[in-house]
Amino acid sequence: MSEYSTRSATERDLPSIAAIYNHAVEHTLATFDLDPPDSEYWRARLDGEHPGDHLLVAVDTDDRVVGYAYSWSFRPRPAYDLTRETSVYLDGSVRGRGVGRMLYPALLQTMAVSGVHTAIAAVSLPNPASERLHIACGFTKVGEFRQVGYKFDQWIDMAFYQRMLVNMPTGDAVLG
């Protein structure tokens, strides 16, 4: 795993991040987006709207972005502020090689340092790699919704996962 590392995203990384996500939008059921978001979408995630929002990238030894993970609003009403929703996407070339198991805990630990109380993730089904990753990172499945998304001419189920972050060890947090 030493060929990959995790760091905070910078503005320079945004096109690579967008390319990874846009491929998933256009070719997979992993996201319910039907069209690629504009550059403002990623700019907002880089800037964050709340202290618990972070955008991290996984990079190879040439500092090429191979994946990203971020935290963002779960729901907009202010009592939800210390609950953040998480998302993680990797380039197809590095999946199944432990990059998710490196990057996602770093995001969760960074969120914990920021005082986030709990993380929520929505996983469209089926997605065995994502479900395994969430379980491996300490999430618990809290429920499944039936047929809440419609994409590529099919109905899609969605699972919610939750991970409490209070008292989480934060040794791999990525700050700054």
Ligand X SMILES: CC(C)(COP(=O)(O)OP(=O)(O)OC[C@H]1O[C@@H](n2cnc3c(N)ncnc32)[C@H](O)[C@@H]1OP(=O)(O)O)[C@@H](O)C(=O)NCCC(=O)NCCS
Which residues of the shown chain bind ligand X in the complex (CB under 6 A)? 24, 30, 88-90, 95-101, 123, 127-130, 132-133, 136
Least distance (Å) from ligand X to the CB of residue 120?
11
When the beta carbons of 136 and 175 are compared against ligand X, the nearer one is 136
When the beta carbons of 137 and 173 are compared against ligand X, the nearer one is 137
When the beta carbons of 98 and 115 are compared against ligand X, the nearer one is 98
Residue nearest to ligand X (CB): 100
Q: What angle do CA 110, 122, 128 make, to 5 degrees?
A: 100
φ and ψ at 81, to 5 degrees? -55, -35
**DSSP per residue over 120-160, as a string?**
EEEEEES-HHHHHHHHHTT-EEEEEEEEEEEETTEEEEEEE
Least distance (Å) from ligand X to the CB of residue 44?
19
Least distance (Å) from ligand X to the CB of residue 46?
19
Least distance (Å) from ligand X to the CB of residue 20?
8
- Beta strand 83-90 with 118-125: parallel, antiparallel or unpaired? parallel
When the beta carbons of 71 and 130 are compared against ligand X, the nearer one is 130
